[in-house]
Structure 1
Amino acid sequence: MNQQDIIDFIKQSDSPKIKYAFTDIDGVLRGKIIHRQKFMDGLTDGFGFCDVVWGWDSSDTPYDNGRTTGWHSGYPDAPVRIDVSTFRQLPWEDNIPFFLADFSHGLDNQSSKYGLSACPRSLLKRVATQCQDMGFHAEFAQEFEWFNFRETPQTLQQKNFQQLEPLTPGMFGYSILRPSLESAFYHDLFDLLGQFDIPLEGLHTETGPGVYEAAIMHDEVVRAADKAALFKTAVKEIAYRHGAVATFMAKWNADLPGCSGHIHQSLWNLEQTKNLFHDAAQPNHMSKLMRQFIAGQLYCLPHITPMFAPTINSYKRLVEGAWAPTTITWSVDNRTTALRVLNHKEAYTRVEHRVSGADTNPYLALAASLASGLYGIRHELTLDIPASEGNGYTDKRNGILPTNLDEATRAMANSPVASELFGAEFVDHFTRTRDWEWRQYLRQVSDWELKRYFEII
């Protein structure tokens, strides 16, 4: 359907309701239902949306260090625009029309028409335009792991998030048996997500009680991020309808593996007829372009780690032996490194970014992946770091990843590389939000502290 087809469909719809949403800086979907007439009226000039969504955290607590908006600005409206091309229908809500929005100042992807510097989707659109201007089509996909619990939002509060009941017990990775216990939920995930234009390449259990993994079909990078951003909320909504709660925390339990949000990425010619990462004449079939892309990602990684690990909890996942990387490394088909090259077939030759967790904002994670790879191409970096063999956790020749959010945020805030990639305004806003997150954590007293110190000290 082209834009006019979609508008005609909305005009002829029996429902007067339209739902639209966008992600805030944490990847949380914010939005509302509006009347069909308001939707039509806003197609030309956009809508006003309270810019507090860029001035508070994931718990709706206003930042005390914001510049984009705050008490000092009075939290005015900011212009939001619905992207008509993102039209889909909500199959679990009577097929209500749904759209994604962002805070771009224009209706197209021209780099001069990007708006609010805090808007993640606008940032990714700008990076995608840079990629296209360089002559490349970016084909990306994100995959997610998440845990499911036989709980409700009410029981989570009543139990203080303790002694939660997993959807199914035991360590059953790649199990055919365990999903049969919740077959209605399992099949609804695959079927309803597909109807919501988030087709899955695969869905299976991972190792851990009640944990699933899904790989989303690859697509152009902005559309891939759209699907990934919607995936997380869609899974939670589908879970609600089956008496379950889904979590995409990076690490909910110290004794269990964490939840990844790996990013699969490749560059093609603009006609999408040739995978530019593949060169049969080169070692490991890796083209010069692919090697520059990887070199850029490795070089930029310590400068932009918070975009792949944005929360306090993210760094509990990035520990040795937990199926997540800790070193600035790459490899060919090795799951212990930060970047993993997959080169079994020309059409599927790609780089898997394994630092990214399930707790990421997909727009920011994919923007960081693509921008850092393009950095390597623009600067013609050479991949001087040899591929890791065996245990990547022990390969510290090129350094290690930051070990906490404070360390990672300080590195990004002071990095000219980050500013070159994303602009000083975005870096300032984003790192201020991460600094706020760190300071909220420092004020808390954890269960670990109580158990360790309460009686003995």
Structure 2
Amino acid sequence: MISGQTSNKKIKRRNKMDNKDLLKRVKEDNVKFLSLQFTDVMGAVKSVDMPIRHLEDVLKDGAWFDGSSVEGFARIQESDMRLKIDPETYAVLPWSATDSKRARVFCDIYTPGGDPFDGDPRGALKRILKKIADRGWKLNIGPEPEFFLFKASDGNGVHPVPHDTGGYFDFSSFDEAVVVRTALMEALDAMGLDVEVGHHEVALGQHEIDFRYADALKAADNVLTLKYTVKAIAAQHGLTASFMPKPVYGINGSGMHCHQSLFDIKSGNNLFFDAKDEAHLSPLAYSFIAGQLEHARALAGVVAPTVNSYKRLVPGYEAPVYIGWAQQNRSALIRIPRYTEGRDKAVRAELRFPDPSSNPYLAFTVMLAAALDGIDKNMKAPKALNNINLYHLDKAERTKLGVTELPGSLAESLKELEKNEVLKSALGEYLFEAYLRAKWEEWDEFRLRVTDYEITKYLETA
């Protein structure tokens, strides 16, 4: 990442809009339809679409929908749910037709009684952010979701074919990958993401588009915006965009490294920075890091949430496997990027094992909960693993250093998550149980499935 935390560009901040402003904007933009968006517990974007003529009524009374049909939401007898629009998330969808222009807003979910719904992933993040706001803090996150562009299927199977043959930061004055990536950046910029750079990643067909860091809620909204925008623009070019962590065997997978820092709301100072410390980290930053390391194995169940996630988290492909932190060392779970003199606000902790298949609202919620546990208990970070390539150490050497490892499967991570009271409290019992139920069902579905590998390996030899 070329960090947004060090950019001199003018920041595109969250729009300061209220209901009156929203009504004015949709008229000025000649919007015909509005998509009311939210996510299910798995992170899939759901949408209730309406003609713009109903907007004033929805702003007043909300929009009702059947929650029993959404993964992780409500039992059939509790099906009625209400969406309340967040006007500050308004954006026109740049790929919509001019004569039927559409815009989107993100929504918060409420019960019929008017209370915030316990199963709303966005609501869970807002709850924990309110806790640190009461302390005078805000969490900034700069996520880096990677993705692949694949050629469209010819109908003869689902095995993906990379769209190009480029490598890490490869340049070409004109090729299909550059054209598509440029179109993606233009669309994302039009939707309010402060796009900084786009580049080819290590693997064939793999790309990354970096946008400026933001407060955690805005950052989570931005991740969802990026994902469905990339998919929509790719489809216009006859391509399939995938945020699957490991879509192709034998090459690098896609991560979503998250650059994190706590800021003082009143002063605007970076609470991670300490000029006197060798690593330029404050005691609060060290405890933040310690908390995330302490809870890393349980965090995996949310930030690396699929069966496929654990095919990315293996040695040899630049993905973290071992639990530790270091300055600049990319084999560590948490990396502290190089400090540049005078850029105190750029001091941050990069958490490297989240991937883009995660629900960003849930991922950021548990990441912050783990960090806060470290801060509140004044945890001490272990010794930094600088100048040590963890992939080159054997188990005995890692044990001597006190370095443990991430779970090796979704099932292993879910077992860790089940017994973690800190993360359970952050998500709330309702959302926690709904998430675990959905993920164990996913594991069982995978466990019972006969794969191509098994047929090739055992059909004739067993």
Q: What residue is the counterpart of 2:17 in the other structure?
A: 2
Which residue of structure 2 lines up, in the alignment, with residue 115 of structure 1?
116
Distance 1:267 1:343, change over 3 A: farther
Q: Deviations over 1:305-346 (max 9, x none)?
A: 211111000000000122111111111111111111124131
Looking at structure 1, the residues matched to 460 and 192 of structure 2 have their Cα atoms a distance apart, in angstroms, of: 54
Residues 183 and 411 of structure 1: CA distance in aligned 2, closer, same or farther (over 3 Å):
closer
1:377-431 residue CA offsets vs partner (Å, 9 max, x unmatched): 1222121344353212334524211111111112211222222332222221111
- Is 1:97 the counterpart of 2:112? The answer is no
Q: Are 1:412 and 2:417 an aligned pair? A: yes
What amino acid sits opposite 1:102 in the alignment? D
Question: In the TM superposition, what whole-angstrom CA distance separates every residue of 1:253-302 from its partner, at most 9, and x where no partner exists?
Answer: 12111100111110111035211111010121111110011011111222
Tell me, what secondary structure is at the counterpart of 1:147?
strand
Stretches of structure 2 that go unaligned for 5 or more consecutive residues are 1-15
Q: Which amino acid aligns with 1:120?
A: P
1:442 aligns with 2:447: yes
Distance in 1, Cα, partners of 2:446 & 2:68: 22
Q: Name the residue aligned to 1:165.
A: 161
Post-superposition offset of 1:134? 1.9
Distance 1:141 1:52 in 2: 34
Distance in structure 2 (CA, Å) of the matches to 1:222 and 1:264: 14
Q: Which of 350, 360, 363 in structure 2 is aligned with 1:362?
A: 360
Q: Distance in 2 between matches of 1:391 and 1:81?
A: 49
Residues 216-255 of structure 1 correspond to what in structure 2 (within 5 A)?
216-255=211-250
* Equivalent position SS for 2:275: coil
1:191 matched to 2:186: yes
Are 1:203 and 1:213, in contact at CA under 8 Å, matched by a contact in 2?
yes
**Does the CA-based 8 Å contact 1:114-1:122 persist in structure 2?**
no
The aligned amino acid for 2:175 is: S
Q: Which residue of 2 aligns with 1:29?
A: 45
Aligned 1:190-209 pairs, distance under 5 A: 190-209=185-204
Aligned residue-pair number: 432
Asked if 1 retains the 8 angstrom alpha-carbon contact of 2:370 and 2:423, the reply is no
Shift of 1:55: 3.1
Q: Distance in 2 between matches of 1:411 and 1:124?
A: 21
Q: Separation in 1 of the partners of 2:364 and 2:306?
A: 17
Say if 1:103 and 1:115, in contact at 8 Å, map to a contact too: yes
What residue ranges of structure 1 are gaps of 5+ in the alignment? Answer: 57-67, 107-112
Kindly report the root-mean-square deviation, in angstroms, between the aligned alpha carbons of the 2 structures.
2.1
8 Å contact kept, 1:172–1:207:
yes
Paired residue type of 1:38: H
Q: CA separation in 1, counterparts of 2:317 and 2:178?
A: 29
The 5 A counterparts of 1:13-412 are 14-55=30-71, 68-70=73-75, 73=76, 76-93=79-96, 94=98, 95-104=101-110, 115-151=116-152, 155=154, 158-162=155-159, 164-169=160-165, 172-177=167-172, 180-271=175-266, 273-345=268-340, 346-393=344-391, 394=393, 395-396=398-399, 397-412=402-417
Counterparts of 1:322 and 1:180 in 2: how far apart (Å)? 26
Name the SS of the counterpart of 1:139 in structure 2. Answer: strand
Q: Deviations over 1:55-101 (max 9, x none)?
A: 37xxxxxxxxxxx534xx25722122221111111111145221011
Percent identity between the aligned chains? 28
For 1:134, what is the secondary structure of its paired residue? coil
Q: How far did 1:182 drift?
A: 3.5
Q: Structure 1 counterpart of 2:17, which letter?
A: N
Structure 1 CA distance for aligned equivalents of residues 105 and 134 of structure 2: 27
| Partner residue in 2 for 1:61 | none
CA contact (8 A) 1:329 1:388 kept: no
Whether the 8 Å CA contact 2:41–2:431 is kept in 1: the answer is no
The alpha carbon displacement at 1:114 in A equals 6.3
Amino acid at match of 2:283: K
Task: Tell me the CA shift for residue 183 of structure 1.
Answer: 3.3
Which whole-Å CA distance do the structure 1 matches of 2:40 and 2:66 have between them? 12
Query: Counterparts of 1:242 and 1:52 in 2: how far apart (Å)?
Result: 36
After superposition, what is the alpha-carbon deviation per residue over 1:230-251, rounded to whole angstroms, capped at 9, x for unaligned?
1111100010111111111100
Report the CA distance between 1:175 and its aligned residue: 0.4
**Structure 2 Cα separation of the partners of residues 28 and 227 of structure 1:** 14
Q: CA deviation at 1:13?
A: 5.3
In the superposition, relative to structure 1, how do residues 279 and 189 fare at CA in structure 2: closer, same or farther (>3 Å)? same
* TM-score, length of structure 1 as denominator length: 0.89
Cα distance change on mapping 1:43 and 1:186 into 2, 3 Å:
same
Cα contact 2:336–2:349 (8 A) shared by 1: yes
- Cα distance change, pair 15–2 in 1 and its aligned pair in 2 (3 A): closer
